[in-house]
Amino acid sequence: DAGVIQSPRHEVTEMGQEVTLRCKPISGHNSLFWYRQTMMRGLELLIYFNNNVPIDDSGMPEDRFSAKMPNASFSTLKIQPSEPRDSAVYFCASWTDRFTGELFFGEGSRLTVL
Amino acid sequence: DQQVKQNSPSLSVQEGRISILNCDYTNSMFDYFLWYKKYPAEGPTFLISISSIKDKNEDGRFTVFLNKSAKHLSLHIVPSQPGDSAVYFCAASAISNAGKSTFGDGTTLTVKP
């Protein structure tokens, strides 16, 4: 089975540009999570969806960040405009309540904003 | 307010010895705990978990211990192998919202041959 698929794996952009990160969760999983990993703040939850509906976006740092999940197989995290402090690794994870409850992470998207 | 803390950023052990990674939590609502392992340039992968009704869970070389009164859990790896060198994250959640996990900052384990 394919795992969680994220794209792009690496993104280098200039300050002020729009960045879109994409995620395809594992088929059949009903929840999707976006995490950000930085040296200063570790792994922090940005937002999560349950059955395509945003449940908790309290971790989204500011209005420049937005996330959507138009269907069960696709989600995007958008940053507009991007800033150097947004540089981090962004992970998408999916989850199902049918098993023991662990998250399945993608390989991450490393974002560098110059 | 960091609800899950891993106070040791790094740990170095000799191959064949025991590795003990520690984690503390503050939120009494947490009742499900997980450990994840992360290699460079990869996403975290699930390693082992424990619910609050248990105080120990074992899977091969990996054992997780939970001390609810102290709000402390630990991961024991015996014997440690060089391939165990990775970042280990402790995570906690409430069974009522099991998918939403709060992570610690991670501990980098280095196992020397």
Q: Identify the contact set of chain B against chain A, taking CB-CB distances under 8 A.
A: 32, 34, 36, 41-46, 49, 89, 91, 93, 98-106
Q: By the 8 A CB rule, do A89 and A36 touch?
A: yes
Residue A98 is predicted with a pLDDT of 62
Residue B2 is predicted with a pLDDT of 82
DSSP E strand boundaries for chain B: 4-5, 10-14, 19-25, 32-38, 45-51, 56-59, 62-67, 72-77, 86-93, 102-103, 107-112
Residue B44 is predicted with a pLDDT of 95
Q: Which chain B residues have a beta carbon less than 8 Å from that of A35?
A: 103
Smallest CA–CA distance from A56 into chain B, residue: B100
User: SS3 letters for B85-112?
Assistant: CEEEEEEEECHHHCCCCEECCCEEEEEE
Is the confidence at residue B78, as pLDDT, over 90? yes
CA angle A104, A109, A112 (to 5 degrees): 150
Residue A100 is predicted with a pLDDT of 63
Closest in A4, A56, A104 to B100, CB measured: A56
Residue A62 is predicted with a pLDDT of 85
Q: Which chain A residues have a beta carbon less than 8 Å from that of B99?
A: 31, 33, 48, 50, 95, 97, 101, 103
Percent of chain A with pLDDT over 70: 96
> What residues contact B111, with CB distance under 8 A and at least 6 apart?
B12, B13, B14, B15, B19, B80, B81, B82, B83, B84, B85
Mean pLDDT of B34-63: 95
Q: By the 8 A CB rule, do A68 and A76 touch?
A: yes
Residue A87 is predicted with a pLDDT of 96
Q: Do A91 and B43 touch (CB under 8 A)?
A: yes
Mean pLDDT of B15-29: 96
Q: Tell me the sheet residues that pair with B37.
A: B45, B88
Residue type present at position A4: V
pLDDT-derived band at B98 (thresholds 50, 70, 90) equals low
Q: Do B41 and A107 touch (CB under 8 A)?
A: yes
Higher pLDDT, A62 or B46: B46
Residue A39 is predicted with a pLDDT of 82
Out of A52-56, B30-34, B95-99, B104-108, which region has the weakest mean confidence (pLDDT)?
A: B95-99
Over residues A55-104, the pLDDT tens digits come to 999 999 889 999 999 999 999 999 999 999 999 999 999 988 765 678 99
Pairing relationship of beta strands B10-14 and B107-112 according to DSSP bridges: parallel
Pairing relationship of beta strands A19-24 and A5-7 according to DSSP bridges: antiparallel
Residue A67 is predicted with a pLDDT of 97
Residue B27 in tokens: 């939120």
Smallest CA–CA distance from A9 into chain B, residue: B41
